[in-house]
Amino acid sequence: MTSAISLTIRKYGWRYAGNVAFWIQRLSGVALVLYLILHIHTIRDLKNPDTFDQALRTFSKPLFKLGEIGLLATVILHALNGIRLTMVDMGVGLTKQRQMFWYFAIGIGAVMFLAGAIPMFIYGILNWHA
Amino acid sequence: MKLRGMGVSPMRPSKHGRDAHATRKTTMYGRVINWYLQRITGAALLVLLIMHFWVEHFTAEVRTHGLTFDIIQRRFFGNPWFVAVDITFLLIALYHGLNGVRNIIFDFGRVNKPFRVAVTVVLILLGLTLAWWGIDAFRGNQHLNPLNPKGTAVASAR
C-alpha cells in the first residue's frame, strides 16, 4: 500500500533513525537512573526485615510485575542501543547504522524481551510454580 | 558523515563555542577517559544485569517462594561472592547512570565552568549517598545474621 502515511514513514523512519535512537538512549537512561535511586532506597529496608518483606509483597502485585516487564524492555532498549552507539563511534558498520538500528531493535531486542517477559509473566503474574 | 554519539565522543567537534575551546587543553584527556569509561562500565553492566535478572527472577528459590529477607540473608552469608558482586554492581551502575546524567546536562549547549563544577559536585554527593545506602544495608546490619551449618540464620533478631 502506498498511502501518503506509509510513504512518510518509509522516508523519515530511515532518515531519522539515528536521531530517534539518540533520544531513546537519553530518555531511557534518565528513566533507569530514577529507577536505580528508588531501587537502592528499597534496599535500605533490609535494615528492618518486616518492612522489607512487606515492600517485597507490595512489589509482587501484578501491577508492579507489569512494571518490571516494562523495566526489562527499557533495559534491553538501552543496552542494545548502547552497543550500536559504541559500534558507530568506533566506526564499525558506519554505512549501515540505520539498518542496524532496526536489526537490533526488532531482531535481537524483541527476542530477548520475549525470552525474559514470558517467564516473568508466568511466574510473576499468573503465579504458576514449577 | 556526522557522528552521533553520547555527546562526549572525543571524535566529535565541540559545539560549546568559545568556552569549550578555552578549556580544551585541560579537559581533552578527561573527556576521552570519560568516554571510554562510559563504554567499559556499560559493557560490564550488560553482564552484571543479565546475572542480576537471572538471580532475582528465575532461580528456583525465587520462583517458588518469591524473594524474601531470608533468601537474601542465606545468599549473603552462604556465598561471599554475592556481597562482592553486588557492591561492585552497585558502584558501576551508579557511575554509569550519574555520569550519563552529567553528559546529558553538559550536552545541552553553552554551560560555563562554575555550572559544570556545581553539577559534578552535586552528582558526586548524590552518588556517594546512594552508594552508602546500598553498602550500609548489608554492612553492619544487625538483622542480617551469619548462618549455622544447617543454612539457617543464627539468633535472628526478628
DSSP annotation string for A19-72: HHHHHHHHHHHHHHHHHHHHHHHHHGGGGSHHHHHHHHHHHTSHHHHHHHHHHH
Q: What is the mean pLDDT of chain A?
A: 81
Q: Which three cell numbers stand for residue B52?
A: 542480576
Q: Integer distance in angstroms from the first to the last C-alpha of chain A?
A: 47
DSSP annotation string for B95-107: HHHHHHHHHHHHT
Q: How confident is the model at residue B25 (pLDDT cuts 50, 70, 90)?
A: very low
Q: How confident is the model at residue B3 (pLDDT cuts 50, 70, 90)?
A: very low
Check residues A45 and A74 and name the one with the higher pLDDT: A74
B66 conformational bin, left if phi > 0, alpha if psi -120 to 50, beta if neither:
left
Rounded to whole angstroms, the Cα distance separating B5 from A91 reads 11
pLDDT number for residue B1: 42
Taking an 8 Å cut-off on Cβ atoms, the answer to whether A56 and B53 are in contact is: no
Check residues B60 and B7 and name the one with the higher pLDDT: B60
Neighbours of B91 (CB within 10 A): 16
| Residue B131 CB contacts under 8 Å (≥ 6 apart), including other chains | B90, B91, B94
Rounded to the nearest 10 degrees, the angle between the axes of helix A49-59 and helix A17-43 is 150
Q: How confident is the model at residue A28 (pLDDT cuts 50, 70, 90)?
A: very high
* Nearest residue in chain A measured CA to CA from B36: A86
Q: How far is A6 from chain B (nearest CA, A)?
A: 26
Rounded to whole angstroms, the Cα distance separating B82 from B75 reads 7
Q: Which three cell numbers stand for residue A68?
A: 518490571
Taking an 8 Å cut-off on Cβ atoms, the answer to whether A46 and B144 are in contact is: yes
| Residue B93 CB contacts under 8 Å (≥ 6 apart), including other chains | A36, B45, B48
CB pairs under 8 A between A and B: 95
Q: Is the confidence at residue A30, as pLDDT, over 90?
A: yes
Rounded to whole angstroms, the Cα distance separating A87 from A77 reads 15
DSSP annotation string for A2-33: --HHHHHHHHHHHHTHHHHHHHHHHHHHHHHH
* B40: chain A residues, CB-CB within 8 Å: none
On whether any CB of chain A is under 8 Å from the CB of B76, the answer is: no
pLDDT digits (tens, 9 = 90+) for B136-151: 887 766 677 766 666 6
Read off the pTM.
0.77
Taking an 8 Å cut-off on Cβ atoms, the answer to whether B64 and A49 are in contact is: no
Taking an 8 Å cut-off on Cβ atoms, the answer to whether A49 and B100 are in contact is: no
Question: What ipTM, to 2 d.p.?
Answer: 0.78
Q: Which one-letter amino acid corresponds to residue A50?
A: D
Check residues B132 and B26 and name the one with the higher pLDDT: B132
* Nearest residue in chain A measured CA to CA from B70: A49
Q: What is the mean pLDDT of chain B?
A: 77
* A50: chain B residues, CB-CB within 8 Å: 158
| Residue A108 CB contacts under 8 Å (≥ 6 apart), including other chains | A80
